[in-house]
Structure formats: structure tokens, C-alpha cells
A and B are shown apart, each in its own frame.
Chain A
Amino acid sequence: MAVHQLLPRFHLTDTSTLAAVELQTLLRRLGQDGELFALEREGGTEALVHHPDALRARSGDLVLLHHDRESSLASRLLHLSCRRGVVFHDLHPVEPEWDESLQAARAQLTGLAEPGALGIGLSAFATSQLRSAGWTSTSAVPLYVEAERYGPERADAELRKRLDSAALTLVAVARPTAGSGLDDLLRLHGELRRLRPDARLLLLAPDRAMPPATRELREVARHQPGVQWLGPLQHAEQVAALRCASVAVSMDEQDGTGLRLLEAMAAGVPVLAYGGGATVEMLGGAGIAFTEKRFGVLAELVVRLVTDTALRTDVLAGQERRLRAQGAESSARALASALADIGLTGTPRPAHRPRRPRVGIIVQRYGPEVTGGAEAHARQIVEHLAPHWDLRVLTSCAVDHLSWANTLPAGESEVDGVPVVRFPTPGPRPMHRLNALSRRLFGHSLSLPDEERWRALQGPLLPGLWRHLAEEGGGYDGFVAFTYLYVSTAWSVPLVGDRTLLVPTAHDEEPFHFDAYREVFEQPAVLLVNSEEELALIDRRFPGHARARVVGVGVEAPPAAGERFRSRFGIHGPFLLYVGRVERGKGIPELLDVYARFRRGLAGAPELVLAGESSMAVSGEGVSVLGRIEEQEKWDALAAAEAVVVPSAKESLSLLTLESLAAGTPVVGNAASEVVAGHLERSGAGAAYRDPASFAEAVAWVSARRGELSRAARTYARELSWARVVDAYREEMSRVVEHR
């Protein structure tokens, strides 16, 4: 059973878009899988939202149409052979026959009503609209606002600077629908200017397209002194506009969600709103609602809200309380109840207590062909826990993490005797699109839909995995999921969260600051982190995270022969070694730069040997690139190296550092990585560098004390036993099974 959502239009500033993304988030928390489909998609959202032609609904599935305008999707929904429903909050007029389109949309709403169909209103008011249109099975599922997204640090600095003013500033949303009260806002503004001649009105228009009547009002507004019409704004700009306001006002008589009021409340702006539509229920006693539009009185109230500090403080405190009460949990409960009404509940879990837990390992890639720290980590965990658990690896068909191309066959297979189920991605990931979107989004505060479209593009998109977890997840006693970043984990954890041991492999990178990842860190049964530094990082970013435990990995060096490596690859002199993916994200360009300077400044400098799969061109005097090497060759290389270089600034574990220490080889590591620097400080078996000069010093220092550092490295590595790691995993899984 899946719950899919259809939208006429997926534009990031639309209320329906936010509703769809929020519902999808809530559905995952309720153990329901499902995808988004839209006729019209904003550029850059194609990975997250598919065209309705791609919808393949099964008979038990539920398809929900966000009916917010006249569209051909209404007819399409009627002819889907599965359970059907609508999500409703309001109707939006569309070109060319603006008024008639509203009537047509209303007729479609009634035409969709049928016995057994589920009508979800995004407020009690919207639900009453559904009932009056003939819907009998209805439920109210209000939207929620994540207050953190509206904090002062999330405001776009440039717009904030441009809008900042000491003048009394009203902010309001100009919806392009009848009953939005745009004319009333202008009247209130006029009245307010009689009291405060410098008063301003900021009108936030979420949509560029608007019917002629609204366009006329926009022209009137533009010529009225003190009125600023702000077109569709990005999230950070919206926060800036809200945070520049003294009071948020609404004259809306048909607002079906109250969402804009919640956003103003989250931005710390007192709300004064006409009590029409969903306003009173969404305010829930917070802010000030009024029953008649008496502009003189309202202007006085606005001034009082600005000048009376005690009143303002009380109102803001009440709004904060309301936001806490009207959170995601409350919406999730309402949605669960709505789904239960039509008999849609999560998959039941097995009641028996297993002798050997049946555990799913969720990881983005898996297999001997795959290089990558987290993937290797997952394989090691599987290898060591296979004697204790019935394991099944759930992963993609990809070998390449840049394209996620389906290289390996989909379906069941075995790796080292452990069953592996591979799910295909819908298609290769266009890396240039991800890079372009990253450049556009990184560094800005984002809305949930914005973050979700980036995560979808990041991938790997594995709809088969999510369906498997939603439908057959109940057959597993628990899961171990690797790498918070990828949606293979990020969208799986909410589905099976309380049975999951998450190995986040987190480091301080831009997406780590996305609010959308909060649930990935909060919902698992436990976080099994790799280092104290990683735990400190998670503590700072997500203070409400699930219980965490530093476990890491076991590292036990096999017997190795450095000479074997030297003769195999023809390397005779002293050399610095890097083993791992040779790519930009691992700091290779910076390493090549510091090494080139180091070599120029020192005659007879050791060579630099890079071993591992390469996704970039590498050249330079004294630099050797070996490509991918075998496991034993790696240990031979570690034994032969003068020192190992760890250039990556973003590490959660740094397996290379640990393996090098286990092999008794000192490490020269990038000081920008707290994890690497922490290992070096605790072991005393290496030195950290920050720039070319300190790199040269570190290499010289390590070379001069190699024997002494080698002993320190081995002493430190003795603590890294697999027995300790296995015990920790087994203990945590036992807790999950017992608390089931």
C-alpha cells in the first residue's frame, strides 16, 4: 500500500506544494510510502516530482489529489482503479477564464465525491467546504510550521537590509483569490497612515499570475504611498520581509490553511487577523482575531500592539505556545486518524521474539566493486555480524556514487554468503544539475520543499526500497542504516525509525544544516557514531537527537609486507600514501597543491602515491596514481609508506587514519578535520597540517620520529577491536527487539 499525491502544479512557493511535501514527510513517519506527481513542475524539481503519466497505482494504494484549481487531474483520478481522495484548502483561479475556472474547480470537487473516498481538509474550515461539496468521509489535517526555519539568522541579509526601517510596518499576504481582503488591507493602511504618516505595508504576493481584479488592486497598491508589493519570494527573503514587520495582518475571509499566520508567528511577529476561514482555529487563541472590519479601531489596535510592550510580549509568548502545540506531531496524529478511517494503517510487526534477529542493512551502495568509506564500513559490519543476525542488505544497483547508474542487476543476489536485495534508480543522476542546484541553494535558508528537491536530486532514488520497507518492513526485527546524507537512508529512517540503528557518518557539510535532516537524527532507536568529534557535531546541530553511542569500527591489521608492494608497483624510495577515492570532495586538489610546493622546497622529498578509484585528472612531479588496489595490497602499501596523508576535511570516522595507525604507520592529516585531528591528538602518532608550510613541517617531523610514532600508533589501535564493536551492535539491537 502506498499513498501517492497528485498536484496540478508543483511550484515551491505554493501552499499545495508545501502541503504535499509536509504530507509526504508525515506519511513516512506513519510507515507509508508514496511519491509525488504534478502536471506542471518548477524547474529543478523533476527528481522529486514525476509527471502523472508515470503514476502506477496498485489497487490497494491511495491516491490523493491536491485539488486547488481546475485541472484535468480530476478526471484522471476518477478513472484510477485504486482508493482515491482529495486534499483541499482553497481554490485558485486560473487563466484564461478566471471566474469560470473557480466554478469549474468547485464542480470537479463535487464530482470527485464518492462513497469511500477520503477528503482531507487542511483545516476544519476547509473540511467544512468539502462536506458542503458532498464529501462524506472527511478529516481535518492542519499544516504545521517549523519555527526554526523562521529564526532571525534565516533571513536574507540583503532584503532585510533593504527593508529595514524604523517606520511602523504591516506585513500581509496578497492571495490572488476572491475574499483575500486585499482591498481591505489597503483601507487599513490608509487609516493607519492617518495615525502614523510613515507607516508601511509590505504585501507578499506568492503568485505572479493573478486575475484582472487582483491586478487592478495591485496597480492601486503600487500608487499608494507606503505600500511595497513584493512578488514571489524565496524562503530566506520571506523570512526577511516578515522579520522587518511590526505586525502581521490578515483580512482574508476564505483562508483555508492559516499557514501564513503560522509563518508570521514563527518569525516572531504579532498577528492581527480577521476571524474568517480557518483563521480562528489556526490561531487557537493566540494573536488577536477580530470579527468586524472596522478600520479605525484596527488602526488603533495596530499602534497599541507596537507601542504597548507588555501587550506585545504577552501576544508573542502566546503565539510561541500555539506554535509548539500545532507542530508536526499534532498533524501526524490527525493524518493517522484520517487514514485509519479508511482502513489504512502501517504494516504490523511480527509478534514472536526471534532467536536470531532478522536485520536489514540499508546502505546506498554495496559490494566488492564499491569503494567508499561508509560502504566499506557497512561491509565490515555485515561481515562481523553475519554470525549473530539473519542479515539482508537493502541497497541500490549502483557502483558509481556520482551517477547512481544501475550497473549491478536488480533483485536478490548474495555477497559473501549474505543475501543482498538491489533496487534500481529511475535513471542516472545528472551530476551537473545537482552541482548547479547546490550552487544556487547552499548558503541560503531554505524551505522544506527546497531542501527536499535537493535531497531528491542527491539520491539515490530507490522507490522500490521504500515500498519494500512500507509493505514488508514489519518482517524485520530491526535495521542498521548507513549515511544520513543520502535519501536511501534519509527517507527510509522515518519509515522504520524506532527499529533503526543509524550510523550517520556525519560531518560538517552544507546539507548537514538542512532542517529536513532533523528527523533522521531524532527518530532512530540509537545513533552509532564513529567518534567523539562526530557526536559533538551532532549535539550542536540537532540537540534533540536520539540517544547516541560512540562505536566506530574495529581495525585489525593483517600481516603485511611492504617490500611486496614496492616490487609490485616499482616504488623504491620513501613515499607518502593516500588510499581512497581520488576526487575533489576528498581534498585531493588541495593535497596536490601543498605537495607540489613541498616538493619544490625539498630536494629528495618522498613521492606521493595515490591509490583508489579516480574521478579527476591527477598530475604532478613525484605523484604516482595506482588506481584501485586489492585489500592485501592496501595493507602492504600502508606498511611500506613513510607516512599516510589524510587530506579530507570532512570525515566522520576516517577509516584510512585508523587503518594506518593499526599498520603502525604515522599519519599526516588535515587539521581542518576535527575527527582526524582528534585521532592524532589522542594517539600521538602523527601531525596535522593547515597549509603548505605546516605540511612540510609535519612530514619532516613524522619522518624523523617514524619508529617512535609507529609504536604509539599500534598502542592506540589495540583499542579498536571488532569484538567491542560487535558487542555494541548486538546490545543495541537486543534493546530494539525487547522494546518492540
Chain B
Amino acid sequence: MKLIGRDIDPRELLRAARARLEARGLRDRSERGASEGPEPAVEPLSFGVQSLEQNEDPTVPLPLDAEGPGLGRGVATARRLFRRTAQVFIDEALARQRVFNGRVRDLTAQLAAEVLRLRARVEALEGKRPALPSSSSKTRRRAGKKPVQGRKRAPRR
């Protein structure tokens, strides 16, 4: 552990704090490492396609978040009850939307894969890096999947 500051004597401060800690019969233990530093980048095309896949079925509800105890819990219970009783109607009403979403997902995946392939090709032509073989693209592989047949539902949360 290090202290940083222009207006302090870091060594003396740290030494004194540790000494007082020891006088109380405690040891200065190292805690878990912190997760600082920039977050990794997220490739927008791949993320978009994945997210489309995960959210393509409009009949699958979003998770219920209870707002603490009391009234919040009551509201969550009411919403859960509504979902159970009305699910059959929701499925019926949104059947075509599900088909449409599947088509959008497939189209987007194909276009995204094409963009990634072309981007890699352009970079290769500009001499930045060798072009990736088209089959190595994760998104392209996904684009090649057959359209979803029948019902595909994420587990209920």
C-alpha cells in the first residue's frame, strides 16, 4: 500500500497508522485487488447481433426487479401473477412479431458479417494487417445459422 499526496509525509503517515493498528492487536492485511483500468472495448456489430439473438422473442418477459420490501414486493408479485395468467394471450398476440424479429436478426447478422469481412479486407489492402479468412468470423458463422424453427425461449427469470 502506498499513499500519494504533496502535502503529507506518506511514509510517516503509513508507519504511524500501522503502528497504531498493531498496538490494537490487529495486523494490516492485504484486501482483494481492485479492478481499475479501462474497460475492454465491445465490438458493436457482434454485440448487436448477440443482443438481437437474446432479445428476439418478445413473449419472453424481462426480469422482475423487486424494489425492496413492502409495496415494491407486492407490485412484483402482482406483475408475476399477471404474466402467468396472461402468457397465453401474449404468445398469441406476438407470434408474428417473433417471426419478424427472427428475420431481422438473420438479416442483421448477414450484413454485420459482411461489414466485418469488408472492414478486414480494407485494412489488409491498406497494409495494416492480413485479411482474416471469411470463415473465421464469429458473426459470419452465426449468420450462417438456419432460421429459428418453432419456439425458442430463453429461460424465465
Interface residues of A (CB under 8 A from B): 91, 95-97, 100, 103-104, 106-111, 125, 128-129, 131-134, 179, 212, 215, 219, 253-254, 274-277, 280, 283, 285-297, 300-301, 304, 311, 314-315, 317-318
By beta carbon, the residue of chain B nearest A251 is B34
Residue contact B17 to A297, C-beta cutoff 8 Å: yes
- Whether B78 sits at the interface, judged by CB under 8 Å, is no
Instruction: List the B side residues contacting A108 at CB < 8 Å.
Output: 44
Residue contact B51 to A288, C-beta cutoff 8 Å: no
Number of chain B interface residues as a range: 35 or more
- Report the number of A-B residue pairs with Cβ-Cβ less than 8 Å: 135
Q: How far is the CA of A109 from the CA of B32 in the complex (A)?
A: 30
Residue contact B41 to A133, C-beta cutoff 8 Å: yes
- Which of B2, B21, B40, B41 has a CB less than 8 Å from the CB of A291? B2
- Whether B107 sits at the interface, judged by CB under 8 Å, is no
Instruction: List the A side residues contacting B36 at CB < 8 Å.
Output: 179, 253-254, 276-277
Instruction: List the B side residues contacting A104 at CB < 8 Å.
Output: 47, 51
Interface residues of B (CB under 8 A from A): 1-8, 13-14, 16-18, 20-21, 26-32, 34-36, 38-45, 47-48, 51, 54, 62-63, 65, 67-68
Residue contact A296 to B48, C-beta cutoff 8 Å: no
Least CB distance from B134 to A in Å reads 22
- The 6 A-B residue pairs with the shortest CB-CB distance, nearest first, are A111-B44, A318-B7, A285-B6, A107-B47, A276-B36, A300-B17
Q: How far is the CA of A125 from the CA of B18 in the complex (A)?
A: 31
Residue contact B8 to A288, C-beta cutoff 8 Å: yes
Residue contact A288 to B30, C-beta cutoff 8 Å: no
Instruction: List the A side residues contacting B41 at CB < 8 Å.
Output: 106, 109-110, 132-134
By beta carbon, the residue of chain B nearest A316 is B7
Least CB distance from B123 to A in Å reads 13
Q: How far is the CA of A285 from the CA of B3 in the complex (A)?
A: 10
Given contacts A96-B63, A253-B35, A314-B8, 19 further A-B contacts (CB under 8 A): A96-B62, A103-B51, A104-B47, A128-B38, A129-B39, A133-B41, A253-B36, A254-B39, A275-B4, A277-B36, A285-B7, A294-B28, A294-B31, A301-B3, A315-B5, A315-B8, A317-B7, A318-B5, A318-B7
Instruction: List the A side residues contacting B48 at CB < 8 Å.
Output: 107
Instruction: List the A side residues contacting B63 at CB < 8 Å.
Output: 96-97
Instruction: List the B side residues contacting A179 at CB < 8 Å.
Output: 35-36
By beta carbon, the residue of chain B nearest A317 is B7
Residue contact A129 to B38, C-beta cutoff 8 Å: yes
- Which of B5, B30, B39 has a CB less than 8 Å from the CB of A292? B30
A-B contact pairs, 9 of them (CB 8 A): A91-B39, A107-B42, A107-B48, A108-B44, A132-B40, A132-B41, A212-B65, A275-B4, A289-B4
Q: How far is the CA of A693 from the CA of B154 in the complex (A)?
A: 83
Residue contact A304 to B29, C-beta cutoff 8 Å: no
Instruction: List the A side residues contacting B26 at CB < 8 Å.
Output: 296
Residue contact A318 to B67, C-beta cutoff 8 Å: no
Instruction: List the A side residues contacting B28 at CB < 8 Å.
Output: 294, 296-297
By beta carbon, the residue of chain B nearest A300 is B17
Instruction: List the B side residues contacting A128 at CB < 8 Å.
Output: 38
Instruction: List the A side residues contacting B16 at CB < 8 Å.
Output: 300, 304
Residue contact A285 to B5, C-beta cutoff 8 Å: yes
Residue contact B3 to A288, C-beta cutoff 8 Å: yes
**Given A179-B35, A294-B28, A304-B17, A286:B40 Cβ within 8 A:** no
- Residue of B5, B17, B28, B43 with most chain A CB atoms under a 10 A cut-off: B5
Instruction: List the A side residues contacting B30 at CB < 8 Å.
Output: 292, 294
Instruction: List the B side residues contacting A212 at CB < 8 Å.
Output: 65
Instruction: List the B side residues contacting A275 at CB < 8 Å.
Output: 4
Q: How far is the CA of A291 from the CA of B28 in the complex (A)?
A: 14
Residue contact A318 to B6, C-beta cutoff 8 Å: yes
Residue contact A286 to B7, C-beta cutoff 8 Å: yes
By beta carbon, the residue of chain B nearest A106 is B42
By beta carbon, the residue of chain B nearest A280 is B4
Q: How far is the CA of A287 from the CA of B6 in the complex (A)?
A: 8
Residue contact A311 to B8, C-beta cutoff 8 Å: yes
Instruction: List the A side residues contacting B17 at CB < 8 Å.
Output: 297, 300-301, 304
Instruction: List the B side residues contacting A253 at CB < 8 Å.
Output: 34-36
Q: How far is the CA of A95 from the CA of B67 in the complex (A)?
A: 13
Residue contact B8 to A97, C-beta cutoff 8 Å: no
Q: How far is the CA of A276 from the CA of B38 in the complex (A)?
A: 10
Instruction: List the A side residues contacting B2 at CB < 8 Å.
Output: 290-292
- Which of A103, A286, A315 has a CB less than 8 Å from the CB of B47? A103
Q: How far is the CA of A280 from the CA of B37 in the complex (A)?
A: 13
Least CB distance from B76 to A in Å reads 11
Least CB distance from A385 to B in Å reads 54
Residue contact A300 to B1, C-beta cutoff 8 Å: no
By beta carbon, the residue of chain A nearest B32 is A293
Residue contact B34 to A286, C-beta cutoff 8 Å: no
Residue contact B4 to A293, C-beta cutoff 8 Å: no
Q: How far is the CA of A735 from the CA of B110 in the complex (A)?
A: 67
Instruction: List the B side residues contacting A215 at CB < 8 Å.
Output: 65, 67-68
- Which of B3, B13, B18 has a CB less than 8 Å from the CB of A289? B3
Instruction: List the A side residues contacting B54 at CB < 8 Å.
Output: 100
Q: How far is the CA of A290 from the CA of B8 in the complex (A)?
A: 12
